[in-house]
Structure 1
């Protein structure tokens, strides 16, 4: 099969999230290099997002528990309103230590989330008061689920993946269930991390992609899957890939692909893989403060067994 080299869709936007709504528009948000706000844009096509004007939906306060390091926003339409889920740290985070994030939600009832007023809904409380981030939501068989990464002091590493039902779009219901923790070599390079989960439903299965290891060239993506009729809150329902499904391509110089989302092409059927990656490894200082994680988009392919084929981050 002929491979085509791909280039960034949007430069200097990490943790990209693209959502195709029922109004026919594509909506985009991501971590901005300054980590100081939630930025939205929309366009009629995926390519159009690259040049679409941006709107600041929410800007962090100068101090307080959610006033620093605004990470990985995601825009969802749940129960008749728009929600952005994001992680934020307290104002002391930079001078003390980074990993103090908690998760928060804002809401906008306007049909167009780039217009209207956003309401701060507060912290999304998981019942565990530890570092957490990278929340996403998905609907399946009439239930709204919350899926995220969080630290457990009893488990070695920085973050694991958890799943819970939602009572409202900003409140979880019941006890969170541990789905995955860092255990393989490729998940524990630099940091022991499972984070950035995203969900796609296809071929009778629910797939959860996620990212692992440090955010440099070691960053890579793994995969969980369950039968669509299984109890998703039963950890035994999930099968975890032993090898990464997407990792650095040294041949073409695309490094540390991860923190992906899924959307659909203009045909409404083709699943598109959205992810960030770097185009060089000579990072000066902390990789988290390096702005050059760019947004890439490419079609996701599927095997005869119904499993997704991620290929390489540099080609499609």
Structure 2
């Protein structure tokens, strides 16, 4: 009797172990049931991203915002309904772009193999492929994610790292997702490409503490230049400013140089220089070759892409990325 119970325990442990293996993301997850999937995505990105290279930064940002809410499950793509306001309509996501791009990729993959490739994997793959296509680093994207069915704007509002966040806030939000201070510095390095609306940092120029003052941590000459030539109105929510002036489409170390010059746009960027550990890491990155940054960034991206993923029988494979299956 005891031997039977012992055997039963072993079987349960083995089943649990096998289940955990099946739940892991793997490289080439679609190699058997949709072998051309990643090639289709890669080809589409290479064909179209050069017509709008700024989309590379937008797609990377979408991937980041998706993974930070409920894990990398494409919940950021879901539309709001009559009784639910979705993530994409939360304030931090109102400036997200690239939804049509993802939808076009999804339609091509669905035509090849219906109901097989998740929207969550598509986001992860187009983010990587668009960065590579525009001259940035490559990172591995293991696949097998499934799509979530819940999307809530309040969760996005409360949990997407804010541009005005201090280091304590940022560290807590990253730590909750298994990311450390080095990951914070490296993933923030994505700000080396793309643009920002003036409204995302205008308080640093015009009303930092509520009395019409300027953020003293922002270089005064740079602030004056922004006020004179770009963000002339504190309420401007349309004008865009390059994150790294002159090289917004070049994935380089320019962002980190600006950090040490006190010329990064966001408070969350400037926060990286307020801690000796993060500031030292920024200096190390600048002193090393670009490939060193690329290699470290790649590891952090793969790490981020695994946050709370849904695999196995959890979630679904959406037929359309903007709505859950009926």
Which one has a larger percent helix, Structure 1 or Structure 2?
Answer: 2
- Specify which structure has the bigger relative contact order, considering alpha-carbon pairs within 8 angstroms and separated by 6 or more residues: 2
TM-score, with length taken from structure 1: 0.24
Which one has a larger percent strand, Structure 1 or Structure 2?
Answer: 1
TM-score, with length taken from structure 2: 0.24
